[in-house]
Structure 1
């Protein structure tokens, strides 16, 4: 199918079916599989198109990268547990007698600290703080929400991340933006108008400090955790294997929090940020590989048998398999949505409403709907940015004014909303994995908070549009 074409209303059926089935059956893997299968049939390409779709979507550099990243993260977390590193860190934090509020705020700050990777952030925060939050009777849903809301929403605001490079790169050639340097400067200025990302991060702090009390399904989850001591609801299926949640420290191993926890984390952070500064691209997967190798050597030197180290590594890989399966199917439905022209259909049925006043607000809504339906923010950026920003320049007379900056931020914020909230999104899946939460419970409890921020964002964009028109 040529770029810009679509299959009409049929093109939105697979993602809608996946989301509806997921909430109805509470089985994400089954729901994705069924929706992909039916979507392939709707394209009229026959049954053989199903395995062909899987091969196309999974046989890519993009999926290979996230597959390896997930595996190395799983191994690192398993190593942390086998060396007692997380238990040691938890014990240090426990001695500080942190309250429920302070534990949530600590998780919030940790998520913002690991700003360079929206993949590492939710897994790091969830796996590190899970034991501590369990003891404080904080629901896994709340921990997943905190981890999720400090990943993509933070990454899109910081100008030294892959998100910033990618988004600014899309701006080159639009209006007076003639090079990458000018594009980055424009992106940085637009970040002040990214009301959704800013609001999503601030919302966590307000919820954690009880300035805004818990509401909706999250309130029920927190009441259950506090009153019944159940951090998961009865019948919940945590999106992580028992290989990771049940791994015990090696008998007789002397815990060294610096060597077994802090040093590997510093390796990940220093390599990721260092490669970004030197090479212009953060080598996150390579950073985790280096941390795994380092910690494996430390474990062997400190007396853990080689066989046990390898067995632990295998358990780590098995532990992240539920997330990898869902990610694989999410990549497939994303590829199917591209082929069916889902994003272009959504843009076409809304383009008639465009005016300078509603441009930022409508851009945010369109980007949010596309990202939520497809589970990809970067794909949304690539589709919406070349359409919305030239429109903004048309209204502004070719000048980089408030309307243009707000429209750029609306594309970024709308994409983050979908990436942050969709059950099909990789970072949403990783947040559920890190916190060992039921994936759909995480989506359901987080949604009211995200929608609240979205509603405020739309109002602010309407105000900006009115002023800038």
Structure 2
């Protein structure tokens, strides 16, 4: 392979720098891929443009695995939009709300509702927020606390589930890197094995019920809870498209049950742990989403919630919304190929060897870089599309622990997103709760930083000692810290 020296990492630098500066992931990825191909073709812009289209973009689209991932994403997009617009999620959350009569129950109910509506990270704040806001107001729980719960049950749960949009997107990125590295590793299996090392989202999910059960608040959130009576009331506008006449809670649980039964039926009862080929997994999952959508559509027609024309239009709208995700995937796959052709991983490895940096530090470094990019761009998906093609080859070449490195990338992208004032989920959590956006960021960041520090320490240790006990230790330390804070507040 020709040695391009420092130029081999120029596309990587451009991708990261432009993402931070422009906050536009598609533009950043396209620019980095274009510069990379330009270097490979001796700086001829005309030939570069032609080659970019034929040997990179079209090639990525015509690859059977890549095409299967994109088709699956379209099925997922159609189902999610149909589910959200069916009114079922709203009806389901309302039924949960009937049991609320205390501050702790209000927080736990909102938390559980957010987890149950796991299929859409952006839908959780807009559905759960307006439903639970009146209960929080009545029981004198702050809007900031509701926003925190909404933000903690959207992306954190979505990034842990392999059979929804987030998981499929990440698995698709991993598969491309494994293919380029000629690794005999199942992308699906790698995602599953990385879940116990996806420390930050798990800590984010645990801290919510822990705070509620301990009746604990600290930092700016404590002040928000103490000043709730002084707050100026903000009207929360419910998303009208999520409220549908004759909608029933069964619209949520039955299609999801059909989806899971299809997966169990086509892949077997141990589908979460057994190794499957990518084509098997995609076929089963695509079938599951198709059957789930058909069942939901039939229920909507029988109950006269929507007409056939409305249902079909909603489904197509959901498919259309996945176009941007498909573009990001194609560009990310192309960036991985460009990096391989330039020998980027080898250059980075040689550089790291020259400064005598142990491979065990790779997960911690990946976590920090993920935090920075995600915080600056406000996008976890964009961060993954940039980081995975860069870090996975480096981790493999340096013999760094693979699964904890994947967990570090995903955790870093989520931590930065949680702290970022320009994150879409952060903005929607504020909107869904009727909370001031700045106040939501200010009150949530203390909790996020605690989880972020624990995650960083976990990845720092895990890089040298890859064991699932690291997650358990992080959880124990987190809960211990909360108990200590609670005891100090009492004294």
Quote the Cα distance in structure 2 between the aligned partners of 1:293 and 1:363.
Answer: 42
Counterpart position of 2:9: 8
Q: Is the 8 A contact 2:198 2:407 kept in 1?
A: yes
Counterpart position of 1:28: none
Number of positions where the alignment pairs a residue of Structure 1 with one of Structure 2: 407
CA distance change for structure 1 residues 304 and 319 in 2, over 3 Å: closer, same or farther? same
Secondary structure of residue in 1 paired with 2:121: helix
Quote the Cα distance in structure 2 between the aligned partners of 1:318 and 1:68.
Answer: 11
Counterpart position of 1:25: none
Aligned partner (choices 96, 104, 107) of residue 93 of structure 1: 96
Quote the Cα distance in structure 2 between the aligned partners of 1:320 and 1:228.
Answer: 40
CA distance change for structure 1 residues 130 and 37 in 2, over 3 Å: closer, same or farther? same
Counterpart position of 1:69: 76
What do residues 293-339 of structure 1 show as CA deviations (whole Å, max 9, x unaligned)?
1122223233457xx23224423543675x53542443354245425
Counterpart position of 1:454: 452
Counterpart position of 2:260: 269
What do residues 184-212 of structure 1 show as CA deviations (whole Å, max 9, x unaligned)?
79x86x87666445434333444556777
Q: Is the 8 A contact 1:77 1:127 kept in 2?
A: no
Quote the Cα distance in structure 1 between the aligned partners of 2:27 and 2:225.
Answer: 29
Counterpart position of 2:300: 299
What do residues 42-65 of structure 1 show as CA deviations (whole Å, max 9, x unaligned)?
343648839836656666422332
| Unpaired segments ≥5 residues, structure 1 | 23-30, 172-176, 233-237, 393-403
Counterpart position of 1:246: 241
Counterpart position of 1:49: 49
* 2:245 counterpart of 1:227: no
Quote the Cα distance in structure 1 between the aligned partners of 2:45 and 2:336.
Answer: 18
Q: Is the 8 A contact 2:364 2:460 kept in 1?
A: no
Counterpart position of 1:129: 128
**1:247 shift after superposition:** 4.9
Tell me the TM-score normalised to structure 1 length.
0.62
Quote the Cα distance in structure 1 between the aligned partners of 2:386 and 2:335.
Answer: 11
**1:411 shift after superposition:** 1.0
What do residues 378-405 of structure 1 show as CA deviations (whole Å, max 9, x unaligned)?
996687567546856xxxxxxxxxxx8x
Quote the Cα distance in structure 2 between the aligned partners of 1:102 and 1:300.
Answer: 35
* 2:285 counterpart of 1:284: yes
Counterpart position of 1:327: 325
Q: Which runs of structure 2 are paired with 1:426-437 in the superposition (5 Å)?
A: none
Q: Is the 8 A contact 2:169 2:329 kept in 1?
A: no
Secondary structure of residue in 1 paired with 2:100: coil
Counterpart position of 2:203: 199
Quote the Cα distance in structure 1 between the aligned partners of 2:331 and 2:229.
Answer: 35
**1:130 shift after superposition:** 3.8
CA distance change for structure 1 residues 380 and 37 in 2, over 3 Å: closer, same or farther? closer
Q: Does 132-141 or 286-295 show the bigger shift? A: 132-141
Counterpart position of 2:308: 309
CA distance change for structure 1 residues 436 and 66 in 2, over 3 Å: closer, same or farther? farther
CA distance change for structure 1 residues 94 and 415 in 2, over 3 Å: closer, same or farther? same
Q: Is the 8 A contact 1:370 1:380 kept in 2?
A: yes
Counterpart position of 1:411: 405
Q: CA RMSD in A?
A: 5.6
Q: Is the 8 A contact 2:349 2:397 kept in 1?
A: no
Tell me the TM-score normalised to structure 2 length.
0.60
Q: Is the 8 A contact 1:123 1:433 kept in 2?
A: no
CA distance change for structure 1 residues 456 and 134 in 2, over 3 Å: closer, same or farther? same
| Unpaired segments ≥5 residues, structure 2 | 39-43, 137-142, 375-380, 467-491
Quote the Cα distance in structure 2 between the aligned partners of 1:325 and 1:429.
Answer: 20
Aligned partner (choices 331, 335, 338) of residue 336 of structure 2: 338
**1:151 shift after superposition:** 2.6
